[in-house]
Amino acid sequence: MGKQNRQRRGHRQRRIDVPTAETPIHTLLEIAARNASYGDTEAIDDLLHVFYNKPSDQTLFEAALQDLARTLIAQTWQSGWQPSELVHYVTKSRNERRRRFMVDAMAAQASGYLNDPAVFVHPDWAQQLTELGATHVWWDVSLPHLSQWARQERISVVDGLTTGVEVLARLMNIPPIEPLLAPPGAFPHSPDLRAAHPSGNKMLDRVRALLAKAESSEFPEEADALIGKVQELMTRHSIDHAMVHSTTDADVPIRRRIPVDDPYSSQKATLVAVTARANGCRTVWLKDVGLTTIVGFADDLESVEVLYTSLLVQATTEMAAQSTQGAAGSQSSKSFRQSFLEGFAHRIDQRLSAARDMATNKAEATHGAGVGLVLAGRDKAVDETVNRSFPHLRTKRVRVSSYDGFAAGQAAADEATLGAHNRLEP
């Protein structure tokens, strides 16, 4: 028996049920999606066979698809997921058509609570929906969504149904994760809790403006000076904020998740970790779901996200230019790129640590020797939050398979724009 036949036989053995012509349509969809989620490559074909033989039931298929998607999305909210995280997980393969279907399904589900004044929606939740485009129901709700969506995509309804079941399959066995944000209707009307999630940050606006100017500058020295200002601004702001709140319990560590995409997700997770550590935060990489949890104080988390994004852009841009040289050597292109990112993160870790120490020394001149004690207390609070939330952590080991790639990554990190005064000697 060939390998492919053995795989198909194994998929068949894992089926939870086999649909028949008499199976209700809603159940047909659920069976097909669940079997597909277990790796059964023929499950969707079986469903389409039934769909072809029941043309008069197309409207029922479409209604059942939308209803099941709405139900599964609502269940994920109870499993700790947030809108942006869910779209990222469902469309990890970067299938844009699947992403657009998912956003529409989420918009249909969200319309039920966004239009209900009795349901409180957390500002962060609403912002995620807005950024995804999941607040706009563009189709005629009196008609099935699938047919209208298929026309807009310029595909057949059958292809649209295939995409829909693929989305359902991803939602079927989605693992629970730690709840970080209460879903709509569960968030209490508490001014104190709302205040813990500020909607605006003037310091961060200045940081973004400086980064944008630095990235568009044609003069390396100017870009260096601008992002040097960014690093100083973020570190000093964090210390000033810590000193103001050092005698109160109002400021406590919180958790936030950001996507860490393939390819090279392990190396990107390392870059997040070193950026977080330099800003008084800790990270936990959730490899299976493509996310990294950052634990720290609110302003520090914002700084980590902004700085990580800037560094990743610089690293990937330079890596693309260097990787051709790596591929021509004894190492493969993949090996070169992985090692490049590890080398980049290693040297950035050194540079950011030095920058943080320099900023701390300057802050002590303003606030006195108590700065060290306050920062140590914040580090302890962050560590306790990590240990309490993730009691069974493992440390990720770094493996370098291309010396040329690692060295090239370190050299690129030396040139990354954090300020000329922060450069390290080779």
Q: DSSP secondary structure string, 229-240?
A: HHHHHHHHHHHH
> What pLDDT sits at residue 85?
93
- Give the list of residues 6+ apart from residue 234 with CB closer than 8 angstroms, or none: 203, 207, 279, 303, 306, 307
| Cis before 188 (ω within 30) | no
Q: What is the pLDDT of residues 21-48, one digit of tens each?
A: 567 888 889 989 999 988 887 888 888 8
Question: Could you tell me whether strands 291-296 and 254-259 are parallel, antiparallel, or unpaired per DSSP bridges?
Answer: antiparallel
Please give the angle made by the CA atoms of 221, 223 and 226, to the nearest 5 degrees.
110
| pLDDT for 11 beyond 70 | no
Q: What is the band of 242 on the pLDDT scale with cuts at 50, 70, 90?
A: low
Q: How many CB atoms lie within 10 A of CB 338?
A: 24
pLDDT at position 21 is 58
Instruction: Give the mean pLDDT of 354-373.
Output: 71
Paired tokens of 246: 């050092």
Q: The tokens of 336 are what?
A: 């070169």
More confident residue, 125 or 425: 125
Sign of torsion, CA 197 203 209 210? negative
- 213 pLDDT above the threshold of 80: no
Least confidently predicted of 27-41, 78-92, 234-248: 234-248
Q: Note the pLDDT of residue 24.
A: 85
pLDDT band at 78 (very low <50, low <70, confident <90, very high): very high
Distance in angstroms (rounded) separating the CA atoms of residues 169 and 29 = 10
How high is the mean pLDDT of the chain? 77
Identify which has the larger pLDDT, 256 or 251: 256
Task: Provide the pLDDT for residue 223.
Answer: 57
Q: Would you place residue 414 in the very low, low, confident or very high pLDDT band (cuts 50, 70, 90)?
A: low
pLDDT class for 195, splitting at 50, 70, 90?
very low
Residue 4 has pLDDT above 60, yes or no: no
